[in-house]
Amino acid sequence: MTHRSLIHLSAAGVSLLLDVGGARLPAVLHWGASLGDIDETDAEALASGAVEPIVPNAIDVPVRLSVLPEPWTGWMGKPGLEGHRSGAGWSPHFVASGGALDGAPIAGGFVASGPGIVTVDAHDPDAGLDVALSIELTPSGVVRLGAEVVNVGAGDYDVSALQLALPVPPIAREVLDFAGRWGKERIPQRRPLVVGIEEREGRRGRTGADAATLLTLGVPGFGFGSGEVWGVHVGFSGNHRHYAERLSSGVQVIGGGELLLPGEIRLAPGEGYRMPPLYAVYGDGLDDQARRLHALLRARPHHPGRPRPVTLNVWEAVYFDHDMPRLLDLAERAAGVGVERFVLDDGWFRGRRDDTAGLGDWFVDETVWTGGLRPLADGVRALGMEFGLWFEPEMVNPDSDLAREHPEWILSTGERLPVLARNQLVLDLAHPDAYAYLLERLSAVVSDSDVAYVKWDHNRDLVDAGTGRRRVAGVHRQTLAAYRLMDDLRARFPGLEIESCSSGGSRVDLGILEHTDRVWVSDCIDPLERQDMNRWTMQLLPPELLGSHIASGESHTTGRRHTLSFRAATALTAHLGVEWDLARATTEELAELGEWIAFHKAHRELFHTGDMVRVDTSDPTLRLSGTVSADRERALFVLATVGRSEVSPRGRFVFRGLDESRRYAVVPVHPGGRPRGFTPAPWFGAETADGYAGVQLSGRALMTAGLHTPAMFPESAVVFQVTAV
């Protein structure tokens, strides 16, 4: 490319203005709110306006920041490519050799387009490297970026990092990302962005309960409904890096990529390394940002298309105490309340009477299941439900036949074994024999019992994860092999669904979602905890991909007790399930549970296709969220209390996302009966056998003035049905 090209991509209210300039790598001139129908004159003016002035004691030319930041330009922040060839080639100077927009060569000048993909190839003969960059604006307004570096020189080239970055305007001075631990994932944390770097590294060999998930910069005080935000997510389930950086020049960027361990990427001549995709998401408010990601995922050809089956998982009902009559009794009770999928969890394979032994020995335990799993699976199907099964393919117990027979299949460094976690070590999926064994055993069990759904667990971090004869760092290869194993299994069994579970929600990312059909948000199903964990996991994923179960009356992870109405309302809008010993439920509880499941089924098409709305409230003890249909005809909102407020009642609340010009009927509904400690607000109207009369108001009034909250006990919820009239 010899001529400068300015390319304006626009979609769904987002503009991406690129300078694909001459021999230079592409630079982002604007990423954010739509620029409208700009022409070439406007684009040239914006390009000119983006050039930095020369200031004292700085380099003598303006720094031009490309999506792959290059130190040779004078960029003093984190570089895009870090690597070397025996100490040389560490600061490459790439010269663009060709570019295309949606496959058509870029000739120069100005091009305006809708969504599209810009690709640029570049070369550095001195460093002996080629690089290929891709920048895509998707129809939902999400930017997806990628890069591949290829060694075209003599000798090996060690890649230490390959990461991309985008500029963010200086008004974005507040950082939001997530922390967490087992049983309490995706806890939001905010702080100001100061000069320096805010870097979040994941070194667990899996995404991690404490992953940044989506690192966002925004205008201070941004909320769900308003305030510009710019965020990035690395679509990878292994080690990763997200960062925000503010330089002394005032330039701000956000970026990320895979975090590579020493020696993981050593490119022989002709070899290349492709980084995982980096997703960049702008929004006017967090809901706008999240909905773009939801639309991106829902547009995938392999996105789950059928209604998400209501699922019973028996882990908290039986743990390792497997007994055919007991499990069939649970299946009958589950079918009676409307469950559509029955999942047998851990404990079905040889030697697995607790969590200290048996992992890796994927043979049905004949001492427990004398006839195999088929009789249980057939019994479940006879009741009209699918049969699902738990696996943890990547793990092995030292006390297992597999570990004793094949110690060379264990990820380790040198002659020492890694420290144990949950009495487990990790199988080396990059070892071809270990991979072949796992694929054969998983296939045999899935085939023998006609398994429709696999709960794929991953219960420990990767420590000293060495692979191959030299025991080099192996997290990168392990992650790609896990993806390949899932894909190979699904290729053998079309229609098989896989859930990503990893100590609960420790593998939640857009990389794993290319190979699975839902994630398990957390091993903690306490509805008080799940109110926020579900709420914030939806910042990345739409609700139909979130496993959200109605828990036991007493939480197995916290010991708290909650009403069935609060447990059910908390789980209602996501991929609904039950994690409860139904043999201990009373007749009244089973009837109420059946009503909640029926209500979910009646509305799950709305929950799983509509626009998610989370309403900012002034009272920190209130959570108000809902789903609005794309045509704005109907909506359902759940108002929940998560603590005791300093005031009672709590004042008005508003419904966002409606059509302000339409009129709506708002009716409180109580599947299973009125919740305990609930006093209606006067606007509810008369209560009849069918519910309340409710109120009718314009969308504008509901979104601005709102309605008064009812009086509610702490840790309770009420559902509002909103319908255009």
Predicted pLDDT at 689: 72
Q: If you average pLDDT over residues 362-375, what whole number do you get?
A: 96
Q: Where along the chain do its domains lie?
A: 5-298, 311-607, 612-724
Q: How far is C-alpha 264 from the geometric centre of its chain's CA atoms?
A: 25
Alpha-carbon span 187 to 57, nearest angstrom: 42
Q: Is the pLDDT of residue 555 over 50?
A: yes
Percent of the residues in the chain that have a pLDDT greater than 90, as a whole number: 96
Predicted pLDDT at 107: 83
pTM (2 d.p.): 0.97
For 5-298, give the CATH class. mainly beta
pLDDT digits (tens, 9 = 90+) for 38-82: 999 999 999 999 998 999 998 999 999 999 999 999 999 999 999
> What order do you get walking across the sheet with 695-698 strand by strand?
611-615, 622-628, 634-641, 716-724, 663-669, 695-698
Answer whether 5-298 and 311-607 agree in fold.
no
Mean pLDDT of the chain: 96
Using pLDDT thresholds of 50, 70 and 90, give the confidence band for residue 699. Answer: very high
Assign residue 16 a region: left if phi > 0, alpha if psi is -120 to 50, beta otherwise? beta
Predicted pLDDT at 1: 46
Using pLDDT thresholds of 50, 70 and 90, give the confidence band for residue 691. Answer: confident
Three-state DSSP class for 81?
A: strand
Alpha-carbon span 592 to 250, nearest angstrom: 58
Using pLDDT thresholds of 50, 70 and 90, give the confidence band for residue 190. Answer: very high
Query: What's the N-to-C CA distance of the chain in angstroms?
Result: 58
Alpha-carbon span 463 to 475, nearest angstrom: 9
pLDDT digits (tens, 9 = 90+) for 78-97: 999 999 999 999 999 999 99
Q: Enumerate the active-site residues.
A: 457, 523
Using pLDDT thresholds of 50, 70 and 90, give the confidence band for residue 688. Answer: confident
Q: Is the pLDDT of residue 432 over 50?
A: yes
Q: Is the pLDDT of residue 161 over 90?
A: yes
pLDDT digits (tens, 9 = 90+) for 290-347: 999 999 999 999 999 999 999 999 999 999 999 999 999 999 999 999 999 999 999 9
pLDDT digits (tens, 9 = 90+) for 256-300: 999 999 999 999 999 999 999 999 999 999 999 999 999 999 999
Using pLDDT thresholds of 50, 70 and 90, give the confidence band for residue 3. Answer: low
Predicted pLDDT at 262: 97
For 311-607, give the CATH class. alpha beta
Using pLDDT thresholds of 50, 70 and 90, give the confidence band for residue 673. Answer: confident
Using pLDDT thresholds of 50, 70 and 90, give the confidence band for residue 686. Answer: confident
Q: If you average pLDDT over residues 89-115, what whole number do you get?
A: 94
- What is the second-level CATH architecture of the domain 612-724? Sandwich (2.60)
pLDDT digits (tens, 9 = 90+) for 485-504: 999 999 999 999 999 999 99
Three-state DSSP class for 167?
A: strand
Q: Is the pLDDT of residue 565 over 60?
A: yes
Number of alpha carbons in the 13 Å side-chain half-sphere of residue 523: 20
